[in-house]
Structure 1
Amino acid sequence: MNGATLPHSIGDLSVRTGVPVRTIRFYSDTGLLPPAHRTPAGYRRYGDASVGRLHLICVLRDLDVDLPTIRRVLDDGLSVAEVAAAQREATALRIRTLRLRQSVLRLVAERGSSPEETVLMHRLTHLTAEERKRLVADFVAGLAPGTSQARGAAVLGTALPVLPDDPSDAQLAAWVEIAELMADDGFRTRLAHGAFAAADETALPRVDSGKAAGLVSFTREAVAAARGAGIEPDSAEAAPVVDAVVARFAEVLGRPAGPGLREWMAREFEAGHDPVVERYWRLVWTVNDWQVVDGHLPFQPWLIQALGRP
């Protein structure tokens, strides 16, 4: 077939496909869409097969496939299905990156972060999985071995925060807060001594261990049941729960179930609870997407509020 019989000029190809002439010329010059013939005057002429080839090139470019890969497809060195599979993974990665960027921007806006905080937050959220793992491991390893902190380290090691590859906004915010806590040496000490809930027999140190174990166990179960029923500590429905707990304490300790006992109970349970440590564990649950179980929550804050303390 000579140039005279080839049906498409470069202008005609542009009209039929909607691709600008300069783009077609570029594809032709790079060898992706070579003309079937050139006229004596140097004009390009294309056959019908060029229409389909150009459509394929444009579709692949629209899917962000690079030119060398497109050349391999056109030369039958790579199938469209293989390209699609690879491009799908690359696109998923870009989407995760954009979501992470969006979450960081939202977090910075919500917290009103300073320039320094923004830089730190960006660094913390862009750590690799291995870098995050090492940061947490170094924090736990910093707890002094051979001391009471060693037990805290052992408990921490069983429930480490692991940020997923595609975190939600809540998970990302929780991870940033955990990392900030880990940078505080004072928090390390607090967490070492409060990494686990006190055993029932030690939660009331000034009470005989045999009596304390039963009292604390009864209290934990009562508060967990109230939480499970959706009872708020400052509501009228909380009164019977607190009355039952106070009555049990009065019976076991041989004390009047009056304001004095209530004040003593609130003071004792307040001393045995660290709200910052509780916050840490709630953040870990959020990062790991773990279900919050009422029985695993510290009972002290609910009971203290229900006893009438702020």
Structure 2
Amino acid sequence: MWSIGELAGHAGVTVKTVRFYSDRGLLPEAGRSAGGHRRYGPEALDRLRLIRSLRTLDLPVPDVGRVLDSEDALEDVVAGQLRELGTQLAALRWREAALQLVRDCPAGERADRLRLIGAVSAPPSTAALARFWRRWLPPRLPARVLSAVVDQAVPEPPADPTPAQVLAFARLHALVSGPCTGASGVSDWQPAAHRTGGGYRPAVLYEGLGEAYALASPDLRAQRQPYDGEALDCFVAAYARSRGTRDTPAFRRELSGQLAADPRIDLYWQLAAELYGPSRPTPGAAHDWLCAALDAGIARSAA
């Protein structure tokens, strides 16, 4: 049986350290001396060395206790620490890019950039962007459709951002957090083509638009000029089916006029494009490409 000082000496730690872990139940005593002093068996040395190893990895004391109580807990504890460390590293990379952005900008722009960056957490949250789209989309969309649209429309912040991407996300956050300039409410942001009368089925529209955007994406990545094809037919059919009508030349002319008059959120998609990168066209870019294809097809028919 070892005294607390003897155990500390064998382990190469201070008496204070042994007492700390004993008081928190991580290092049980084997007994007490006649004078009431703590006594430890040789197995306490292995347990103390394990505690020190776990603490060297910065595991919190409660997590160390979980591992000591059950070896199966080690995998979960390590996984949790890796997730936390990943978040911390992402925050550091974001802060580094933000500092570079402030350092390298003209002096006259620093106050504005500091204001934009200061409104965004590090690492940034996309909650404000998701809330914006849930307000902007038609009410009573099925949860499945709503989730799919929000997933496509909300860009994830890059894990290792450039200063330009930090600025783009900060501007995007400011855009969706501020009022709709020149509009009486959020509903005014909804395109007129999406706010038709009775019988309108928005779920049919947004499901079809997602398919059309996916079909148009390869052409966008290849930088092809807009043209008639499967993507455009799918695009027009989505609008037609959502209104219970057919895809006809007259309907295409009507749809073209409505889409041309829409209060498009071009700035949102321009900023989002900097976060998506060139390999992933935004839904806004796909929409513009399909609108251009629609207009070109109508012009050819008229000629």
TM-score normalised to the size of structure 1?
0.47
Q: Which protein is bigger by CA-based radius of gyration?
A: 1
